Amino acid sequence: MKAHLTRRYMLSASHRLHSDEMSAEQNTAVYGKCNNPYGHGHNYMIEITVSGPVDERTGMVCNLIDLDGFVHQNVLERYDHQNLNVVQEFAKQVPTTENLCIAIYEIVKRGFDKAHLERVRIEETMKNSFEYRGEGR
């Protein structure tokens, strides 16, 4: 029997949406106020959904302590209270929330092996949320 588990985490970070590949005018046209040279911040709500068989002994898909510990150490400690523009994975990539979603997915996919990763969803604002389920999904 397969079940899904979704956990929510909060992190605060800043970013500036800017591409060195585009002119100042193009950046302003594409990113608008998010291209502010001083950046801006968000309180991101991150959902990580994993799935798997329900363990007959524990009744769980995975131990929440294991998932929480992994996310805290590998995701929250990496991004919380950071300027995303200076984080290594965004050195050559615009730190949009779409790209943050993919980066978090890849971290969890590579390192958390106690359940199958289904998706990462990030709520950036009350109006914007982003979801990534991996390539080809």
Which among 34, 47, 116, 131 is annotated as catalytic? 34
pTM (2 d.p.): 0.96
The 10s digit of each residue's pLDDT in 99-116 is: 999 999 999 999 999 999
In this predicted structure, the answer to whether residue 68 has a pLDDT above a threshold of 90 is yes
Show the tokens assigned to 36: 């502010």
74 within a domain of the structure (yes/no): yes
C-alpha–C-alpha distance, residues 129 and 76, integer Å: 18
Q: Is the residue at 137 inside a domain? A: no
Task: Assess whether pLDDT exceeds 70 at residue 137.
Answer: no
45 belongs to a structural domain? yes
- Other CB atoms within 10 A of residue 127 CB: 6
pLDDT confidence of residue 1? 81
The domain in which residue 88 lies consists of 2-132
User: CATH no. for residue 16?
Assistant: 3.30.479.10
Query: Active site includes 34?
Result: yes
**Rounded mean pLDDT, 32-52:** 97
* Residues near 25 by beta carbon (within 8 Å), at least 6 away in sequence: none
Query: CA 56 → CA 3, 30, 40, 62, 115, distances in Å?
Result: 12, 51, 47, 11, 15
51, pLDDT greater than 90: yes
The pLDDT assigned to 133 comes to: 98
81 counts as catalytic: yes
Catalytic residue among 4, 40, 72, 81: 81
Q: Into how many domains does the chain fold?
A: 1
Of 47, 89, 106, 124, the active-site residue reads 124
Domain assignment present for 101: yes
Q: What percent of the chain has pLDDT over 70?
A: 99
Whether 125 maps to a domain, the answer reads yes
Q: Is residue 37 part of a domain?
A: yes
pLDDT > 80? residue 67: yes
Q: Please give the structure tokens belonging to residue 137.
A: 């999904």
